[in-house]
Structure 1
Amino acid sequence: MAELIHPRFLLSGRPWRALWYVALGAFGALPVLALVKGVNAVPQPWAAPVAVVVVLAVDLLLAMPIAAAERHRLRIVDQHVAPGRGCLWRGFGYAVAFTAVIGVVDLVAVVVALAALVVPVSPLLEFVLDIDPIVNVDGPVGAPAAVLAGLVLVPLVGYLVGLLALGQAAVARRLLTRPAAGLADRVQELTDSRTRLVDAFEAERTRIERDLHDGAQQRLVALIMTLGVAELDLAGLAGNGPRLVAKARAEAEGVLADLRELIRGIRPQVLTDRGLPAAVAELADRCPLPVTVRLDLPRRPAPQVELAAYFAVSEALANVVKHSQASCARITGAARGERLVLVVHDNGTGGADPARGTGLLGLADRVAVVGGTLAVRSPRGGPTELRVELPWETPDFG
């Protein structure tokens, strides 16, 4: 439907492909119309029932070939046709619909489309071929008016033929192909791929945290101890040596503090050891604003979900401090059926909009990775409420 309303639809090849698709269907109606004409020529009451039985029998016998031919015809307007269902009764249903309705409708549409295409060029054809008038309209302005009407009808007929082809293709796909199954397979493949990516990122995060904790952090601690011993040994000596060693030790302690903060940001140890309530309480304690925490969780969620929940609260509190001008905040969390619901509320000035910045969008993406959703209610003047809903388990858990 979207391609029909595109302004360049009539300038593309789609109307001609739609007309070709409909024209092939019109050819299929000719044998049925010939049979109807033959029945009308036989003045017997049994002729019509016999004709109907014959048509149904032929449809049943040719159901699978007709289905295969229709899938081939469908590629004219749909380049991504899914494999066939291979169901006899679906093929028979489509064959009956084609012989009873679709073919006749296609034939009428082709006649109308050809008439609309011929009328605008009829004066030129009459002049070049030296034939009688194609459009017989009385009066001196009759022929120009007919040509003008034809020019108006051409785009209208183009859209109508496109709509007809679109509708027939939808019916054919529904009966003869497997788009829903193909879509389900693709969705499942994307879900599995997302789960693998989450696992890979989590493994890489754990490796970086371990390397920083067991490698760089331990070497910094050893360096600080060595500088401390050197500072004691140099105490009381003249010159800049003692002062420079003391300064180096202070710098190393600052780097160690920054490194520990970085490690805590990758995955807080308290989250791993004691779970989400303790980790959120630690976030609240470090926040410069008074934060009330009330989490009532019956059990720990899956590790990826727990980590996503922690970072959602952490990012929300960071936004409260930076942008909201709030004096206090409140964090609540509880189980709602099979979902974990977290709400971060502040009494700030409001106006938070995910569309105007990457922070909330990034938070929404992080939550979506584990199958969660994020909603923000932040009218001008406040308050702001950020609501995160997460599953207890990710697809590869439970």
Structure 2
Amino acid sequence: MTSAAPTHLAQALRRRRYPLTGWPWRALAYLLTSVPLAGVLSLGPLVVLAPLVAATNAARQGRPMSLSLTVFLNVVALTVLLLAPLLAVPVAAVERYRLGLVDDRPLPPAPWRGLAARYATGAAWREAAYLFFLGAVVPAVYWLFTLIVLMVLLLIASPFVVGPGEQVVVLWATAETPAQAAPYAIVGVLLLPVLWYAVGVLAAAQGAVARWLLWAAPDGTALREVTRSRARLVDAYEAERRRIERDLHDAAQPRLTNLGLQIGLARLDVPDDSPAARPLDAAHEQAKGLMVLLRQIVRGIRPQSLTDLGLAGAVRELADESPVPVGVHTDLARPLPEAVETTAYFVVSEALGNVARHAAATGVEVRLSDTGRVLVVEVTDDGRGGADPARGSGLTGLADRVAAADGRLLLSSPPGGPTVLRVELPWSA
């Protein structure tokens, strides 16, 4: 797996040098700038929570809840629900911009499609869900984390505040002298790096939720299935395979065989100590290797690396050869049919080629997972996006190959990226 500079906080946290980079400070800035926004948004849940608490107390005490409280509770809940998709518009715009603190991958803005669309699209309600997440979940988590930080600071400061007649409660014990408080202070100092990492984990988790809810690609119009006529394609591929096999067998293979024989005969006439001996040996080996390659092509156009390394190893070999840093993640517990492996290999090869030529990406993630009945191939890049099958034959040809294997190809590539190519190839054991 090729190493690459991290493009988001979750990647940076897995690096050994994380505490010494700028990522922890970016995470801290992300958390601090979340405080005022989350504080304002927390007023909404409080408005709903207050009458709910009053209603709960009335029920526990056996008192009937007043009609005015019931009406108020329902009106407030309905108002918050109706306003949430509208209030989410400016909040989502700010959050998409602010997400750049912990994630260098661009998150394109959601286009305004009218007032009715704010109540009829999944993207709008995901933004509303993030509004509640930021106003309810984030404040609660931040308060808990703040208490932990204060507790650690108290441990560190305990030897300096304890004195004659002064006691300090540290955790479950009471310290009356600096000597008694010193071990707790040492524990507090040792916990500082943990807190430094915890800041990153907290920011990465919040950023992941923001990206998941604010990314507009999962809407049906953005995730398009590129389909072709399977029957026509199977017939066309079979006819083309027979033509290639015939041409190679009748034309190229005899010539290569004759070339190998001529080089072999020439090598016999050259002394071993001659300067031409080594180049002739190399040419002879290359000719034999080319013959082997042609036989493989005739047998089914299957790369040798698939046979030698398996699908996971062959894909990692493609990643090593890519000019763009590629991370490969595989979850393949058993061998797959050759046709499925070959299709998946060429999907990854074509996808990485397209990224290198068109995407201007700084990193690519390739995932291979076997669900038991379907092999899922996902290629995600952080490039400029905007990939469209209608503008070129690369994606269409790839869709043809996938369709011929009875699979399907899904593409999400909004302007500004990221681009996600997902291929599902069914198979049976």
TM-score normalised by length of structure 2: 0.37
Question: Who wins on radius of gyration, i.e. which is larger?
Answer: 1
Query: Larger relative CO (CA 8 A, sep 6+): 1 or 2?
Result: 2
